[in-house]
Amino acid sequence: MNNVKLLFGENRPKSWLSFILTLIDLKTLVQIKLTGTSIRHANTYMLADIANMLQGTCNLSSLDICYDFFSRKSCLAADDICSVTPSHVKHLAVSIKSFKEAQNVVERLKNLLSANFYFDFIQTLDRNIEWLAQRTQGSSYQMDEFSLCMWRGRSIIQPSNVTGARKRIKLTNDDCDL
């Protein structure tokens, strides 16, 4: 098993961490998805338990915190996210309180190759795009009022910026008998 999804309710279950450790070998995990009310509301004790759990995940490369649609209204701040994210994680997806908090995560977690941030709503899209252009040079990003996707060190041309003539391609499969 190398992928795990954990869903937590409002109350922090007692001794959940020791129970999980009996079921899962953390060293084999490559991807973890965490969600639930106690995480979304930034329960301090739950975040501390998660940070302790993630310390044992030496092969973890992808971390998803509050990945479902209903978790987009999150209370998680940059400090919360940075405190639970191990330095060996390369891909992060997280619901976060605001774009300002996402900026702090981008500046603090230099180990990330890609990051997806989801927030409730931002109004100053142009100003935020300017910040991204200045602070993430050599990287690509895609942003709207509810999310930011960033790829560090990759200059990918966004579809809206592609110029040139359109070409039509005919797809055929001559090898099939119909």
Give the pLDDT of residue 162.
41
User: Which residue segments constitute the domains of the chain, with CATH numbers given?
Assistant: 3-156 (3.80.10)
Q: What is the pLDDT of residue 176?
A: 46
* Torsion sign across C-alpha atoms 137, 33, 71, 51: negative
What per-residue confidence (pLDDT) applies to 178?
Answer: 42
Q: What is the mean pLDDT of each run of 10 residues along the chain (178 residues)?
A: 86 84 92 87 87 93 80 82 95 89 91 89 71 77 83 59 47 48
pLDDT of residue 72: 64
Instruction: For residues 76 and 92, give the distance between their C-alpha atoms in angstroms, rounded to a whole number.
Output: 14
Listed residue (62, 57, 63) closest to 27, CA to CA: 57
Residue 51, pLDDT score: 93
Alpha-carbon distance of 67 to 74, in angstroms, equals 11
Within 13 Å of residue 115, how many CA atoms lie on the same side as its CB?
27
Give the model confidence (pLDDT) of 114-132 as tens digits: 999 988 776 666 677 777 7
Q: CB atoms < 10 A from the CB of 23, how many?
A: 8
Q: What is the pLDDT of residue 159?
A: 45
Q: What is the pLDDT of residue 88?
A: 94
Q: What is the pTM of this model?
A: 0.78
**Ordered DSSP codes for 31-56:** EEEEEEHHHHTT-HHHHHHHHHHHTT
